[in-house]
Each structure stands twice: as structure tokens, then as C-alpha cells.
Amino acid sequence: MGAFARPESRRVRLDIAYDGAEFRGWATQPSLRTVQGTLEDALWRILRSDVRLVVAGRTDAGVHATGQVAHVDLDEQQWARATRLSRGGSSDPDPAAPLARKLQGVLGPYADVAVSRTSIAPEGFDARFSAAWRRYTYRIADRTVGYNPLQRRDTTFVRVPLDGEAMNAAASTLVGLHDFAAYCKPREGATTVRTLLEFDWRRGADGVLVANVKADAFCHSMVRALVGACVAVGEGRLDVADVAQLRDERTRTSAFTVLDARGLTLTEVGYPPDDQLAARAEQTRARRDPLDVIDDS
């Protein structure tokens, strides 16, 4: 299926949230439970035919999402099945809205994946290539906060006190357009040049340290590596200046630990105005190698 919907099809945007703990990542894998596989199975039960979801960012095993975005192209028969109203009707002005309710009915009331909204995608929209940026958060509870078992699925516990101010100072040195090869799992033929738009740390009201990380795109394991380097600074194992120096060396290092997936959540995907969506998609395709991983997969 091409980058844009066929003339006889309709493109639908899906806004998605999931608890990644029990998934082996986003992308479909044989004999493994994944977010994409679960959603495409649910769509099959509604549409009685196969469809393929295209996602803004392929997340890895254990990574969560509250603001994931995907799209699907539906032919006329699939569209009719997706939007057929129940007896209660619909008060939503978007004709694609019934699909979200049908999906939640199939997935169940306490599912670990939910489609919060379905809507007709604007002309030129591509969930992956039209995206201008992605935002993640990473949650860490250190020894000053203590371990909370109710947060065990979405918060990483570090057994030492962390210097949040030093971590924030280290994060600020990484913002900008750089080659992040030192902070990415290498993938042959793919670029590691990214624009890190925002990176900062704050302590929430509960004392948990929360990283805000926003970039045009992320290469494989980049967010967890950036966070790991800052934790090494917070522990006193690295100096603030070391994280930028390591970046500029552009080689993988054992100076810090890449943290696990449990604390990582994709919270938002940003898109340009509707009249710029198609141009953004073409620009992204032209700039990036097809092998590029465009999110923290």
C-alpha cells in the first residue's frame, strides 16, 4: 500500500494508548504479542478483512504510550463496516468516530491497549512521515523517594539518591542538531543525526524524577541511552561536561548504562498544519534513509 490512501479508500487516524509491559513492542512479530498485532486482529474482527496500520513511532518491548498515532486505509466496504452505527447512534461530527467505540468493544473494558479516538485524516496525512516531532517522558524513583509497587510498571527504581539539578544541566548540553551515534544502537545504513528539541528533568509532586525528551525523531534506544547518561551524572559517576564529550566522540561507550524500557512513555506526536502535511511527508522521505528507525524502537 502506498504512502497515501488510494483514491477509492479513506484514511483514518487512530490515537492510541497502551501499557507496554506485556507487549513485545509495537511491530507485528510471529507468535509474539505486539500492539500492532493486537490492534490489527481487532480491526479484522470488525472489518472481516486484513488491513495494515502505519505508526508514528515503533516502540520497543515494555515501552508505554499515551499519545501514539497511527493510520489505516479502508476501502469502501471496510469503511461501511467501520462506521455502521449501533442503535444508540453517534453525536460525534466525525464519521469515523464509531470505529473507536467498536475497537474498544472488541478489546474489552480493561484492555492494556486503547484507541481513544478515530477520525478522518486530513489530505496528505501520513502518521509516520508527516510527523514533525515526538515527545517522550522517562520516570525514575531514586532512594530519596523510595520504591512504590504501584508504579512498578511505568517507573524505574534507582537505589541511590540522584542529583536532579546536575542531571538537568547535563541534559541541556545535548539539545540541538547532532550526531547521536554514541547514544544509539547502531543500524547499518541508517543515519544517527537527530535534532534534540527539548531535554530537561524535573521532580514531580511525588518526588519522582521525570525527563521530558522531544526530538524530530529518535534512533534505536536513544532516549534510554540519553537518560542513562544523565543518571550517571546524577550518581556522580560522570561530570556534566562528559555527556556532550561522549556525544562528540560518536562511538558507543560503557561509561553509562542504557536504562530499561519500563520508565519510558511516548506521550505526544506533533504534526504541522493540515496544508503542510503532504510536504512534510515528502521532505521526511527525501531526508531519511529507508532503514532509519524513526523512533525509540
Question: What does DSSP say about strands 133-141 and 54-55: parallel, antiparallel, or unpaired?
Answer: unpaired
Dihedral Cα 100, 266, 122, 276, nearest 10 deg = 180
The letter for the amino acid at 135 is R
DSSP string, 211-267: EEEEES---TTHHHHHHHHHHHHHHTSS-HHHHHHHHHHTS--SSSPPP-GGGEEEE
Rounded CA-CA distance 40/12 in Å is 14
Q: Which residue has the cell 548504562?
A: 257
Catalytic residues: 60
